[in-house]
Amino acid sequence: MNYIIFDLEWNQCPYGKDFENPKLPFEIIEIGAVKLNEKKEFIDTFHALIRPTIYRRLHFQTSKVIGLKESDLRQGRMFRDVARDFIHWCGEDYRFCTWGTLDLMELQRNLNYFRVGDLLKGPLLYEDVQKLFAITYETRKERRALNYAVEYLHLPEDGEYHLAREDAVYTARVFQTIPDDIIASNYSIDCYRNPKSKEEEIVLIYPDYEKFISREFDTKEQLLAAKDVTAVRCYVCGRDVPRQIRFFSDSSGRNHLAVGYCKEHGYIKCKLRVREAHDGKYYAIRTIKLISEEEMLDIRKKEALIRLKRQNRRRK
């Protein structure tokens, strides 16, 4: 399997948000990519400029940051043609790698908008190199800029930043330093194309937790009433376990938390994030993780606090 490390530059409406096309707030104007083999050795590069058709003028920030001029982009090719070439260039057996989560989402949004969405089948497994950098060198939660990582690792800095080709090369160099076992056990999943039916639902098992992506529901209420989605299961032995703390939602109302207890494996945290899909329906991302008694007590405190706040608000 090859790794395709890619980076996109995009433009936005130069006249402000009020005038943007809500179906395509960001229009891709450049694709840069590096292909590595499974030993993470360099094989090939891809680069293309795209002639914008939605926002023909560059937003002042876009031109400032990426160092491209409108005259450069007029030399570019149509997005559909570039996209077809790019996916063809990726080959048969590959995994995408990007710095952060945005590029893969914008790529799919542009593919859909320009009616070549069938070039990629989702949901897509990919490597988020920004996350892998954090896990390898810092703490799991950290999210750094690409130039920070390059400087941290003393990698050669022979090009500008914020050019698709150069950023892809930099991301590839950072990726080459990540140990294989960390790559293998920390892949990400992109849900721009979320599962629609029960058959398409996804379960991913990581070393210390389980991730589940549910089918779609018409309403949030239907989703939260689906027993198989809200079940608190011990992911080690697969048993449904009694709940110690029943589902409660945080202040945003989109995240729900419960804690179960498995006699054999201990406390189990179940987190349910409700997401709105692009067709206006709802699906859930559920993570199940073993936690310590201390962590369980922390969650209990949090739940009591939220309950108290809600009661106070009602009294007012």
Q: In the set 236, 290, 291, 306, which binds Zn ion (CB under 5 A)? A: 236
Given the structure tokens 């056990």, which residue do they identify?
185
What is the Cα–Cα distance from 299 to 207, expressed in whole angstroms? Answer: 23
DSSP-derived secondary structure for 142-163: ----HHHHHHHTT----S-SS-
- Minimum Å gap between C-beta 235 and Zn ion is 8
In this chain, which stretch among 29-37, 72-80, 176-184, 228-236 interacts with Zn ion, using CB under 5 A? 228-236
Nearer to Zn ion, 143 or 265 (CB): 265
Establish if 237 lies at the interface with Zn ion (CB under 5 A). Answer: yes
CA distances (Å), origin 263, targets 206, 266, 267, 297: 22, 6, 9, 17
Q: Are strands 255-262 and 243-249 parallel, antiparallel or unpaired?
A: antiparallel
Establish if 288 lies at the interface with Zn ion (CB under 5 A). Answer: no
Tokens at 278, concatenated = 């692009």
CA distances (Å), origin 93, targets 28, 122, 203: 25, 15, 22
Nearer to Zn ion, 40 or 265 (CB): 265
Nearer to Zn ion, 153 or 236 (CB): 236
Establish if 264 lies at the interface with Zn ion (CB under 5 A). Answer: yes
- Minimum Å gap between C-beta 268 and Zn ion is 8
Q: In the set 265, 275, 289, 302, which binds Zn ion (CB under 5 A)? A: 265
Nearer to Zn ion, 220 or 265 (CB): 265
Establish if 290 lies at the interface with Zn ion (CB under 5 A). Answer: no
Nearer to Zn ion, 199 or 208 (CB): 208
For the chain, the distance separating the N- and C-terminal CA atoms, rounded to the nearest angstrom, is 60
Nearer to Zn ion, 125 or 237 (CB): 237
Residues 88-127 that bind Zn ion (CB under 5 A): none
- Minimum Å gap between C-beta 11 and Zn ion is 51
Instruction: Name the 3-class secondary structure at 315.
Output: helix
- How far is residue 213 CA from its own chain's centroid? 13
Tokens at 54, concatenated = 């939605």
DSSP H stretches of helix in 5-95: 60-66, 70-74, 79-90
Establish if 262 lies at the interface with Zn ion (CB under 5 A). Answer: yes
Count residues binding Zn ion (CB under 5 A): 6
State the residues that interact with Zn ion by CB under 5 A.
234, 236-237, 262, 264-265
